[in-house]
Structure 1
């Protein structure tokens, strides 16, 4: 890796040092404010344990939700501090402020080996604006900034790019934590030297969100499987009716172009599950892709398509999956996504490299009960798409070069 990582920081250099760590604790909370999915938190434990065991003073920065640059008690990180404490097995301090005298005092009073989580960075409008002065404040004079938040590494925010720039200007280092390093390594290896057959599965609602990644992957992949509501736009490009299904009318020409570009690498669904509405108690029927009824909604790939996709995935040596095949959150439309998830897991069981691109795909792998069998499940859906598209990630670009 061309950027410095935490492995470049020997433990003896960290003792008694304030180390600012950007983590991604944007975790789902229930109505009682309890963490319901701690995956991203758990993935940061190796980085935090390394710092604590070295005797560093780890100051954690994170956002939660979209508070719009102002405090929102429902999006406080306090419950996350409690959950982190459970996993680490020792006290985790929490400060109600992100900057200012209270935060400064909390940092200055830390002892070696302690962990302090500051309040939601996005309670402050300066974060999203990448305000340089604010970034200097949240650096707390440290000589080491660790970015372990892959899920926000594609954002040019003060808590990702700005603080890294500030620390480097001050003569310090900005390095990747173990989570970020692992994410970049898996995705880089998959793009640079994939073992073939190389299969990519792209789903989700909108083709507009995936155009760059499709174009970037096409030269390397052997097969590109398309599912989810974005397939509807390809159907329209073929001239097929899609009933009342979601379609991006302004992207039909794009779908035409991508089909021409992909040629026989592209595999679209041959049948779909349709229903009068996308609800949890609706009855579904199977329709050929060119025979969808006028008032029908497409909610999932059909059984023949699932068999085709399973067969292709089963023969792969490298698989990248980004986006569900249907509305898997609802029972009538989860089969296609779950079948693909199980096929991906079985392929990984046979020694293939299978990478799931975070977001809904990761949630689907969890729901299908196969997440522990996948080679690598990314903690960042949008971030993984940005990386696979070949776009620069500000949070990574700002790290110190080796």
Structure 2
């Protein structure tokens, strides 16, 4: 995928204006950034253009304002942060299109940066409006996509605007790292390759399992994802989460059949679980085999046998991807399984394995233990990463290649 796509290294930006689509949709509290990973990963792209004596127009979204301008979703809070990081003043436009922003761009000098207001203040962005994309395209000479986290979206600034740049379009360093990291998972990494899928949403990950089952050595399935699989194999799961089971029952049976025919890949499920009689941190608990959860009880974490079983597989792996927690890790009494898995992945990484972690909950679990800097690569896009694992070319990447 990366072989035939241009990056910012293929351009000299001197006297050129680069429109750089970034993903600055970061968590904040009282206008203070809680996690700046996405921004930090995009700074090298911006610095490269500045170093070339080019001009930078930054486009980003923030939150879900649904086409309505709002102070709550304004990107103004980014000005001082970016200025501090880049060590230059940052110009700001409260509009994304129109004569006033065009005037700002025309007045930009080499090495200067203009940040546009939240692109999603315009409903045309999420509609994929071509006229809107054309107005944006007028602002620059070269288009750069460095927003992996939204490159699975068919939005104007992602898939439509590149049409107006012919061969003057490319990806940034963040996008390049994301693609290269995922390629290490999809059959090109050192074996054994292990993918750990957790969380509650099984429907978004079924096609991933079907697509990668022949490429990797181990699939570990935990969290809420495990219970539909256990049920389809005849297990009793009590009141455990069961997302859209009636819709996916046949698909799950097909996956189990496919798995049984595959000699190279093993699908592994938890052996035991910590169950609770209600959904709260102080609920009564006990540990039971995952195939025999009593009625009225629900699985909220993997048990000690499961932790040892999964950790042993992770310890032997040379390439590891993790997406989704193994239990309700927000509750301290049900976080041990997820934390144990995080520690096992860190230990394997320290011994030379390549580890890729994506998805907000998985990264949040790493941060709880201060492990985020001990992973080979933190993906900046959970949804986009999952789409890549389905072995589909993301719309935002396809738009650069075409």
Deviations 1:10-51 (A, max 9, x none): 3xxx12321100001111122x23221111011111111111
Structure 2 portions without partners, runs of 5+: none
Contact 2:46/2:56 (<8 A) preserved: yes
Deviations 1:277-296 (A, max 9, x none): 33244443222212323222
**Match status 1:15 vs 2:17:** no
Deviation of the 1:299 alpha carbon: 1.3
Per the alignment, in what secondary structure is the counterpart of residue 138 of structure 1?
Answer: helix
Contact 2:102/2:139 (<8 A) preserved: no
1:78 to 61, 76, 90: 76
1:261 matched to which residue of 2? Answer: 258
- Whole-angstrom distance in 1 between the partners of 2:276 and 2:314: 27
Contact 1:173/1:399 (<8 A) preserved: no
2:89 to 63, 88, 91: 91
Query: 1:230-245 residue pairs with structure 2 within 5 A?
Result: 230-245=225-240
1:367 matched to which residue of 2? Answer: 368
Contact 1:53/1:113 (<8 A) preserved: yes
Deviation of the 1:140 alpha carbon: 2.7
Contact 1:283/1:332 (<8 A) preserved: no
| Deviating more after overlay: 245-254 vs 60-69 | 245-254
Structure 1 portions without partners, runs of 5+: none
Deviation of the 1:260 alpha carbon: 1.8
Per the alignment, in what secondary structure is the counterpart of residue 207 of structure 1?
Answer: coil
Query: 1:66-215 residue pairs with structure 2 within 5 A?
Result: 66-168=64-166, 172-215=167-210
- Whole-angstrom distance in 2 between the partners of 1:2 and 1:190: 19
TM-score, with length taken from structure 2: 0.94
- Whole-angstrom distance in 2 between the partners of 1:101 and 1:391: 38
- CA 209–38 in structure 1, closer or farther in 2 if over 3 Å, else same: same
Deviation of the 1:64 alpha carbon: 1.1
- Whole-angstrom distance in 2 between the partners of 1:299 and 1:145: 46
Counting matched residue pairs gives: 394
TM-score, with length taken from structure 1: 0.94
- Whole-angstrom distance in 1 between the partners of 2:101 and 2:31: 23
Query: 1:174-323 residue pairs with structure 2 within 5 A?
Result: 174-248=169-243, 249-250=245-246, 251-263=248-260, 265-323=266-324
Per the alignment, in what secondary structure is the counterpart of residue 347 of structure 1?
Answer: helix
Contact 1:284/1:332 (<8 A) preserved: no
